[in-house]
Amino acid sequence: MYEHLKKQDPAIYKAILAETKRQEEGLELIPSEIAASAAVIEALGSVLTNKYSEGYPGKRYYGGQENIDTIEEIAQERAKKLFGVPHANVQPYSGSPANLAVYVAVCAPGDVVLGQNLPDGGHLTHGWKASATSIFYKTIGYHVKEDGYLDLEEIERLAKKHKPKLIWVGATAYVREFPFEKMAKIADKVGAYLAADIAHIAGLVISGAHKSPAKFAHIITTTTHKTLRGPRGGIIMVTYKGLKKDPELAKKIDQAIFPRLQGGPHDHQTAAIAVALGEAMKPSFKTYGRQVVKNAKALAKSLMVRGVKIVTDGTDNHMILIKCGKGRGVFLQDALDAAGITLNKNTIPKDPSSPFYPSGVRLGTPFITVRGMKEKEMDKLADWIAQVMEEIKDFQFPSDKSKIKPTFIKFRKFVAGNNELKKIKSEVKKLCAKFPLYKDMK
């Protein structure tokens, strides 16, 4: 692989090989990551990156588009068929631009928007204060209850009070099935558009492992690089319900992407999305999607058996949130990283600490499921996580800010020299060797 890169730029070549080795020899548990197929990677690295294609199929501003039009139309048709929608725009560069396009399409600056609060598992682009969406729109956050489930009574109360133009349903760290039908009833009562952001669960929706929002939402957005197993990219879809509410909605979405927010689409990315959608049409994809959820449920159960506390005491999707204790998410993230297990620090509902030093970690099963791992491996993984938690139990997040830096210096020195973590990393490597990545590309 990479023979030209090896000759021309050895530094980048070595870094790519090192990252390939890291992914092959470790357990990737970040729920927003997955191993794209070899075919997706080939499309992404094709000569399509050379082309510039402002506009849409049949309506371009540059010549030589016949092949690009074919590719984009294939991607559109596959998306429409898989999700059961009449319109799909496959040009968003990623999920955040896709979500911003929804605002541009259906809202005017200053309009009220209702979305899930970021510390409660929501996404930046659903109106969090650090996002540009809160600068241009009046954003109101809703929350989860003490048990980690969405507070539907609060959502309805806020909707009736503030009369939002747009309501988001979807999240970046929510482990239960989204109540699309109930959210739709709330949106309909106040005349709001309902946008379902299924970035995390798109592959699960296709495989039937999670309810689809197509009958309930007006607009659906998704990334393509999570459970959908595609390249980094995004899709915006308009449903039949959306067109009934506004017959011009598809046109407004397309105009929001181009020319309002983006220039030329990334044609190599569009092709890779089309390939991923083609793979999602195969029976094997349904098997994969359902196994992702089976693995997550098995892992959650095995963790709880070992005394690990998790948000909502389980999961309905691909994701689990572990409660680590006040400010201790970074400790567990770093210690597991040293053991060859990668996940990310994350806030938990009603987190007593800050987003930078949260009290939880977020983990998921898409990447390891693609490798072929099943319930048996989840039990072993739970054992390793519990062992690592036991190793670092004496480290607590300091209440005195002046002690944070020295505490982490001491902690990282401890992690670097811990023999138990080294032992687990060796065991992880042996397990991963039984489930190789990209063996057909070497």
Cite the active site residues.
52, 54, 197, 223, 226, 232
User: φ, ψ for residue 203 (rounded to 5)?
Assistant: -65, -35
Q: Which residues of 409-425 are buried (b: 16+ CB within 10 A; e: fewer)?
A: eebeebbeebeebeebb
Q: What does the alpha-carbon distance between residue 210 and residue 218 come to, in Å, rounded to a whole number?
A: 18
In order of 242, 300, 321, 381, 415, the CA distances from 386 in angstroms are 46, 12, 14, 9, 15
* DSSP states along 32-56: T-----HHHHHHHTSGGGG----EE
In order of 259, 286, 293, 316, 403, the CA distances from 176 in angstroms are 37, 20, 11, 5, 37
Say if CB 340 and CB 428 are below 8 A apart: yes
User: φ, ψ for residue 201 (rounded to 5)?
Assistant: -110, 10
Left if phi > 0, otherwise alpha if psi is -120 to 50, otherwise beta: which for 314? left
Say if CB 206 and CB 83 are below 8 A apart: yes
Running DSSP on this structure, what letter comes out for residue 147? T
Structure tokens at 257: 């992407």
